[in-house]
Amino acid sequence: MTRLSVNINKVATLRNARGGNIPNVQQVGIDCQRFGAQGITVHPRPDERHIRYEDVRLLRPLVLTEFNIEGYPNREFIDLVLSVKPEQVTLVPDPPDALTSNAGWDTIANESFLHEVISEFKRHGIRTSVFVGTDIKHVAHAANCGADRIELYTEPYALEYPSNPAAALAPFARAARIATDNGLGINAGHDLNLENLEFFAKGIPLLAEVSIGHALIADALYYGLENTIQLYLNCLR
């Protein structure tokens, strides 16, 4: 079964809008796991507009499933990851002022940089995933950079899915086959939701993990967090 990692950035966004500690990000991390999530994902940004670096440190002893830290690997981010030692780090090529992640790595142009960063994480026993699109050259070359996994950037799938699910899935299924052929594990994330997740997971048989935040937290406003997590898990069974 594909594992569900819940991205709790949006919980921190809500907390930061008012100040104080409501909602409590650490408690939500605990509860997501209690309700069945098999991982917790955070994406700290330099301006700390949602998850703060201190949140990451406070969450570390509370995440008993799998902790996945996403972000652009500047020195501050690298030092945070090395101090916290999550099970997985996901490298994302977004600049500090990006609203959200909107592209994957060009793993060919950035091979030297990625290889250096990934080598540092792997020396500390941290599994490393690289955020990529469906360009098969970039997928295959992630292995040359030393990555353990790729995370497929699925916004294009989500945009095309309502009009043509099969066409939307096709490039991702092809990219997944290339990843497997090159010894890479497969994660996915971005705009996956209750409408499109099941079809995607069935079409990518070796999909190890999905990271879902915005849609899941939005659904929880209507269905409650526990029920929402179960609905997403049902899509992956």
Can you tell me the distance from the alpha carbon of 217 to that of 42, in angstroms, rounded to the nearest whole number? 13
Spatial separation of the C-alpha atoms in residues 174 and 34, rounded to whole Å: 35
Percent of the chain with pLDDT over 90: 93
The amino acid at residue 177 is R
Residues of the domain holding 228: 3-236
Mean model confidence pLDDT for the chain: 96
Distance, CA of 29 to chain centre: 15
Q: Looking at residue 27, what is its pLDDT?
A: 98
**What mean pLDDT is predicted for residues 220-225?**
98
| β-bridge pairing 88-91 and 67-71 | parallel
pLDDT of residue 25: 98
Sign of the dihedral defined by the CA atoms of residues 225, 55, 12, 187, in that order? negative
How would residue 103 be classed by pLDDT, with cut points 50, 70 and 90? Answer: confident
| pLDDT value at 99 more than 60 | no
Total domains in the chain come to 1
pTM of the model: 0.95
Average pLDDT over residues 76-88: 97
pLDDT at 94: 81
pLDDT band at 101 (very low <50, low <70, confident <90, very high): low
Distance separating alpha carbons of residues 202 and 22, to the nearest angstrom: 37
How far is the C-alpha of 141 from the C-alpha of 95, rounded, in Å? Answer: 22
Catalytic annotation, residues: 43, 70, 190
Preceding peptide of 171 cis, ω within 30° = no
Nearest 5 degrees, angle CA 62-CA 67-CA 72?
130
* Whether 32 contacts 8, CB under 8 Å: yes
Per-residue tokens: 77: 């981010």
One DSSP character per residue, 75-107 reads HHHHHHHHHH--SEEEE----TT-SS------T
| DSSP assignments along 180-213, one per residue | HHTT-EEEEESS--TTTHHHHHHH-TTEEEEEE-
CATH number at residue 139: 3.20.20.70
| CA angle centred on 94, ends 92 and 100, rounded to 5° | 100
| pLDDT value at 96 more than 70 | no
Distance CA 233, CA 6 (A): 11
Give the 3-state secondary structure of residue 41.
strand
